[in-house]
Chains A and B, each alone.
Chain A
Amino acid sequence: MPAEIFWNQQAALPLLALLQLLPLLGAAVVFALGERSAAVLAGKLFALAELLLAGFAASRIDPLLAGFQLAERIDLLGYHVAVDGISILFLLVTALLTLLMTLYGMSRGMISPGRLFAVLLLAEAGLVGMLLTVNIAWFAFFSALELWAVVYLLRRWASSRAETQALARFVQYQGFGLALFVAGCFVLGWGYAEANGGRWSFDLFDLTGTLPAGKFQTAAFYLLFYGLAVRTPLFPLHGWLPNMAQHGLIAVAPALMVGVKVGIYGMARFVLPLTPDAVLDWQPYVVGFAMAGVFFTAALAFLQTNLRRLLAFAVVSHTSLLVIGLFSLHGAGIQGAMLLAANFGLAVTGMWFVVGFVFRRTGTTELGELSGLFERIPFLAIAFLTFGLAIVGMPGTPGFDAAHLVLEASIARFGALSTVATALGNVAAAGFLLWGFQKAFLSQEKSGSYDVDRTQPMEYLVCGIAVTALLAIGFFTEPWLVLTDAASQALAGSFVR
């Protein structure tokens, strides 16, 4: 049974409840304001307030304690929230990305921004709910809420005529993934009810006390793991992402789906502690698939002719690395995977922002039609490359220390050969990101090419914040290592053989 500290011992207010209510309140206010200009301002302010509140919550917890903190409980509804260092890390990323998305949405001049911001804040509420709860059924509920918000975004603000197909594919995949996940929850809850005389519970704390045995655990593992694997997305279940990335809303929808790696978070929070034996049994297969995925998707990325699809494959490729780190079941590996998840989320969202800015100027993201943008928008080009280098794990970005930890764990668990293979996969990722960068930004200007606008202040701000955040975390990684250390060690502790 994990330990927890209740909120009234650490803070004057139930911070986690506020964190969940604030974006909901924001969504309601912005929705009520309709398309007035105040709605846009209110949306930004709520996003900023949520970030500040998340920062405040981060300052209240003690990262050196392994247990859950700031806990809140209402038994009747099964409401149970608590955080540790890992959830705080994800929470900060979520709040920062939402704020950047509100700024981005304005600078790209989208239609009906008021409605957009309301849905965006609703999606944030869903993400925050997923990150804070320790009840697996609530996790599934918030997941559904967030997916609904994304579907609404895709329907209303899609940037291409082929969006219907992309949307259908998205709904099919995500609906299936969610159904698997819910079924997994059901298996776990049922197991608990069998053992406790018919009393059902989906609470992490209860469930860790009575783990399902044998094949029930395997079934639960498979259902939960594949449910989350679709969401993550993990090779070979990534079919929805390239289409959505190409035809859907350019930056906001992909950022909501893959900017915050809730799939990986869900695996760390629920799958590893609740099905430990099955995880140990299936670890080689999961890691094997992930290693294959790194290379397969890297190869596919090289074949893409559209910058947006290329980024989608970049996501799938690096998600495989996260899974390798997580399923090393090694303290350093888990910590590295969590930091990498934050790093990838921030970096890939930044890349998507730049692609959005490019699209606003050129009306296309086909690599064959873009050329010579570096001369016109050097800042955005350099920002794009910086994000790319962060994904590759360049020193000076959080990716470096995180990749270093994952490598260390990988050597310890899988041996030098697999580690070298994984590292080569990362070099392949560097290859296609550089290739895409050169095609879009550096290639010779073609005849009759467009005369694109220079970088605008809001674009400087959005990319500037993201680059600064990456570099600041990259050069001062220590606090982030401290934040995630105890929680990662605790998670790995149950797998010491």
Chain B
Amino acid sequence: MKLPLLSLLVLLPLLGGALLWLLPARRARMVAAVTMFGVLLLATWLLVLYDPAGPRFQLLDRLPWLPDIGVHWLLAVDGLSVLFLPATGLLFLGALVASWNAVGEAQRLFYSLLLLLQTATLGIFCAIDLVLFFVFWEISLVPVYFLLARWGVVADAPKVAARYVLIMLAGGFPLLLAFVMLGGVAGSFDLTILLDRPADDGVQRIVLVLMLIGFALKVPLVPLHTWLPQFALAAPGSLTAVLIGLKVGVYGLVRFAIPLAPDAAQDWHWLLAGLGTLTLIYGAVGVLAHSNLRVGLAYASICHVGLAVLGLSTLSEQGVQGAVSLLLSFTVATGGAMLLLEFLRQRTGSTDIHALGGAARTMPMLASGVLICGLAGVGMPGTSSFPAEFLLILSILERYTGAGMAALFGLAIAAGAFLALYRKAFFGPVTRSAVAQAEDLRPREWVVLVVLIALIAGIGIYPAPWLDIVRPAAEAWAAAFLS
């Protein structure tokens, strides 16, 4: 009998979260660590089992859930999603390390919420039934709300949490509406069936707009981005790293919004391209305008997400391959940078450049870690983002020369602005006592740094195996637009 490996992967964190309530509270952290390590191993094994040359969707798990209305427990991965599973496993382990001593009371609650968030995230990447996807999508709000409201690092964190949840709920309704419309026409919510039978033009247009609203809020695309900077400031570092590192919004565009409305997307590719360009430029300027490293990084991520969406709007194989690779590189680089900034915040109490200055003197390792992640975020050759950005820029320049030039310009601004922030925070004389007394990375934080650098450099120098996993799925994805 074949083991339902994907279901196991998705439910494993949930089991761990339940298990830690049965053990004493002081064991909670250990249980969470073991569970997350198990998830990472299982996800890596799945990556080995996945055959890039095989059929489009693999490792299928299918159980009837609400057969009356055509809803199934349907999990599968393809080349576009399979790499996100180990990336999720890795980032959550990093988040666990970042929160190692920062939880305080109610440890069991914190770790079970973090594990619930991991289940929801893995579910988002594995579900290919629209309703099941939506279930995971919405459930992720519950742990985010609690983690932010209860463990937020600013006084008005509960307000920020409520605002985030309300905005996401408001974005959830257009999504649900779109899914109900698609499912109602086809009589099934199975993605593989829906891909074979595109809806008629009128439905496609409505559905595309609805899904665009829903996903753009999460991405976030300008002008729906207003929640992100506040969120990045208020949330505990582990949560920021997970939510900014894992770009589920863009994944939603790649997986559902564009393929399910192919003709409408082809007609309105300029809309996606325009939103992408706007987001890119806005994000780049945003980095210039802020003095807090976390907010700066959040804007830098907005900028890069704009690039990914611009790449998607070319509807080409290179575009989607580049976009997915960029998202993955992002998980490592931005997620990693957020974790390092959390280490910094725990030491100095702030990530604002006015409260720092000269931090590289007392924390050389932390400083070099942030720099390496930052360079990866900028797309420096030799880092993991370079092949992805190269593919993206290539496809964009071919399709929209003007937007491509604007993109290059925006990326240059973002890089310059981030380096300026970096210089002010880490170089110059030490003026604050908190910085002077801070100690450099501890061994368990060190491990995070080494893994980060290994991944950034390894993928950057030899990207072929990763790109080969994505390519066949990207070909199939782009083939729908050739006709």
Stretch at the interface among A41-49, A91-99, A255-263, A476-484: A476-484
Stretch at the interface among A268-276, A348-356, A416-424: A416-424
Q: Is the CB of A407 within 8 A of B176?
A: yes
Please, which residue of chain A has its CB at the minimum distance from the CB of B162?
A434
CB of A55 within 8 A of chain B? Answer: no
Place the interface of chain B in its size category.
35 or more
Within 8 A of B (CB), among A354-380: 374-375, 378
CB of B439 within 8 A of chain A? Answer: no
Please, which residue of chain A has its CB at the minimum distance from the CB of B67?
A478
Q: Is the CB of B166 within 8 A of A378?
A: no
Q: Is the CB of B173 within 8 A of A427?
A: yes
CB distance from A256 to the nearest CB of B (A): 30
Query: B residues within 8 A CB of A426?
Result: 173
Q: Is the CB of A438 within 8 A of B149?
A: yes
Q: Is the CB of B68 within 8 A of A482?
A: yes
CB of A401 within 8 A of chain B? Answer: yes
CB distance from B22 to the nearest CB of A (A): 15
Alpha-carbon gap, A404 to B183, bound state (A): 12
CB of A79 within 8 A of chain B? Answer: no
Alpha-carbon gap, A434 to B163, bound state (A): 10
Query: B residues within 8 A CB of A427?
Result: 166, 169-170, 173
CB of B467 within 8 A of chain A? Answer: no
Known: A375-B105, A427-B169. A416 touches B177 (CB 8 A): yes
Within 8 A of A (CB), among B136-172: 136, 138-139, 141-142, 145-146, 149-150, 155, 158-159, 162, 165-166, 169-170
Most central of A394, A395, A435 by chain B CB within 10 Å: A395
Within 8 A of A (CB), among B97-118: 105-106, 109
CB of B69 within 8 A of chain A? Answer: yes
CB of B482 within 8 A of chain A? Answer: no
Please, which residue of chain A has its CB at the minimum distance from the CB of B174?
A420
Alpha-carbon gap, A51 to B163, bound state (A): 41
CB of B430 within 8 A of chain A? Answer: no
Alpha-carbon gap, A478 to B150, bound state (A): 35
Most central of A400, A404, A420, A431 by chain B CB within 10 Å: A404
CB distance from B475 to the nearest CB of A (A): 33
CB of A35 within 8 A of chain B? Answer: no
Alpha-carbon gap, A416 to B180, bound state (A): 12
CB of B206 within 8 A of chain A? Answer: yes
Query: A residues within 8 A CB of B155?
Result: 444
Q: Is the CB of A394 within 8 A of B67?
A: no
Alpha-carbon gap, A442 to B165, bound state (A): 15
Please, which residue of chain B has its CB at the minimum distance from the CB of A444?
B155
Query: B residues within 8 A CB of A405?
Result: 69
Q: Is the CB of A423 within 8 A of B173?
A: yes
Query: B residues within 8 A CB of A392?
Result: 169
Alpha-carbon gap, A131 to B264, bound state (A): 50
Query: B residues within 8 A CB of A482?
Result: 68
CB distance from A249 to the nearest CB of B (A): 30
Alpha-carbon gap, A405 to B149, bound state (A): 32
Alpha-carbon gap, A411 to B184, bound state (A): 11
Q: Is the CB of B149 within 8 A of A442?
A: yes
CB distance from A374 to the nearest CB of B (A): 7
Query: A residues within 8 A CB of B173?
Result: 420, 423-424, 426-427
Query: A residues within 8 A CB of B174?
Result: 420
Neighbour of B142 across the interface among A378, A394, A401, CB < 8 A: A394
Query: B residues within 8 A CB of A408?
Result: 180, 184
CB distance from B208 to the nearest CB of A (A): 14
Query: B residues within 8 A CB of A477?
Result: 66
Alpha-carbon gap, A382 to B142, bound state (A): 10
CB of B135 within 8 A of chain A? Answer: yes
CB of B45 within 8 A of chain A? Answer: no
Please, which residue of chain A has its CB at the minimum distance from the CB of B181?
A411
Alpha-carbon gap, A465 to B141, bound state (A): 24
Alpha-carbon gap, A481 to B70, bound state (A): 12
CB of B65 within 8 A of chain A? Answer: yes
Query: A residues within 8 A CB of B57?
Result: none
Neighbour of A378 across the interface among B66, B106, B149, CB < 8 A: B106
Alpha-carbon gap, A354 to B119, bound state (A): 28
CB of A84 within 8 A of chain B? Answer: no
Query: A residues within 8 A CB of B145?
Result: 434
Q: Is the CB of B177 within 8 A of A481?
A: no
CB distance from A264 to the nearest CB of B (A): 22
The interface residues of chain B, by DSSP majority, are classed as: helix
Alpha-carbon gap, A411 to B203, bound state (A): 13
CB of A430 within 8 A of chain B? Answer: yes
CB of B390 within 8 A of chain A? Answer: no
- Size of the A side of the interface (Cβ < 8 Å), in residues, is 36
Query: B residues within 8 A CB of A416?
Result: 177, 206
CB of B134 within 8 A of chain A? Answer: yes
Q: Is the CB of A430 within 8 A of B177?
A: no
Q: Is the CB of B138 within 8 A of A404?
A: no
Q: Is the CB of B162 within 8 A of A394?
A: no
Q: Is the CB of B105 within 8 A of A430?
A: no
Q: Is the CB of A438 within 8 A of B177?
A: no
Please, which residue of chain B has its CB at the minimum distance from the CB of A474?
B135
Alpha-carbon gap, A182 to B131, bound state (A): 45
CB distance from B75 to the nearest CB of A (A): 16
CB distance from B344 to the nearest CB of A (A): 26
Alpha-carbon gap, A434 to B160, bound state (A): 12
Within 8 A of B (CB), among A418-454: 419-420, 423-424, 426-427, 430-431, 434-435, 438, 442-444
CB distance from A336 to the nearest CB of B (A): 11
Query: A residues within 8 A CB of B158?
Result: 438, 442-443
Q: Is the CB of B169 within 8 A of A395?
A: no
Q: Is the CB of A374 within 8 A of B166?
A: no
Alpha-carbon gap, A5 to B454, bound state (A): 73
CB of A124 within 8 A of chain B? Answer: no
CB of A389 within 8 A of chain B? Answer: yes
Query: B residues within 8 A CB of A464?
Result: none
Query: A residues within 8 A CB of B134?
Result: 395
CB of A14 within 8 A of chain B? Answer: no
Most central of B131, B141, B169, B181 by chain A CB within 10 Å: B169
Please, which residue of chain A has its CB at the minimum distance from the CB of B108?
A378
Q: Is the CB of A404 within 8 A of B162?
A: no
CB of A396 within 8 A of chain B? Answer: yes
Query: A residues within 8 A CB of B176?
Result: 404, 407
Q: Is the CB of B65 within 8 A of A478?
A: yes
Q: Is the CB of B169 within 8 A of A430?
A: yes
Query: A residues within 8 A CB of B136?
Result: 395
CB of A203 within 8 A of chain B? Answer: no
Neighbour of A407 across the interface among B150, B162, B177, CB < 8 A: B177
Alpha-carbon gap, A392 to B67, bound state (A): 24
Please, which residue of chain A has its CB at the minimum distance from the CB of B137?
A395
Query: B residues within 8 A CB of A443?
Result: 158
Query: A residues within 8 A CB of B142?
Result: 389, 394
Alpha-carbon gap, A101 to B166, bound state (A): 32
Known: A404-B180, A416-B206. A424 touches B170 (CB 8 A): yes
Please, which residue of chain A has its CB at the minimum distance from the CB of B170?
A427
Most central of A378, A392, A420, A434 by chain B CB within 10 Å: A434
Query: B residues within 8 A CB of A146?
Result: none
CB<8 Å pairs between A and B, sample of 29: A378-B109, A394-B138, A394-B141, A395-B134, A395-B135, A395-B136, A395-B138, A396-B139, A401-B69, A404-B69, A404-B131, A404-B176, A407-B177, A407-B180, A408-B180, A408-B184, A416-B177, A420-B173, A424-B173, A426-B173, A430-B166, A434-B165, A438-B149, A438-B158, A438-B159, A442-B149, A442-B150, A443-B158, A444-B155
Interface residues of B (CB under 8 A from A): 65-69, 105-106, 109, 131, 134-136, 138-139, 141-142, 145-146, 149-150, 155, 158-159, 162, 165-166, 169-170, 173-174, 176-177, 180-181, 184, 206
Q: Beyond the given A395-B139, A411-B181, A424-B170, could you list 8 further A-B residue pairs with CB under 8 A, ordered by the A residue number? A: A375-B105, A420-B174, A430-B166, A431-B162, A434-B145, A435-B162, A438-B159, A442-B150
Top 10 nearest A-B pairs (CB, nearest first) are A395-B135, A423-B173, A434-B162, A438-B158, A442-B158, A395-B138, A427-B170, A427-B169, A430-B169, A481-B68
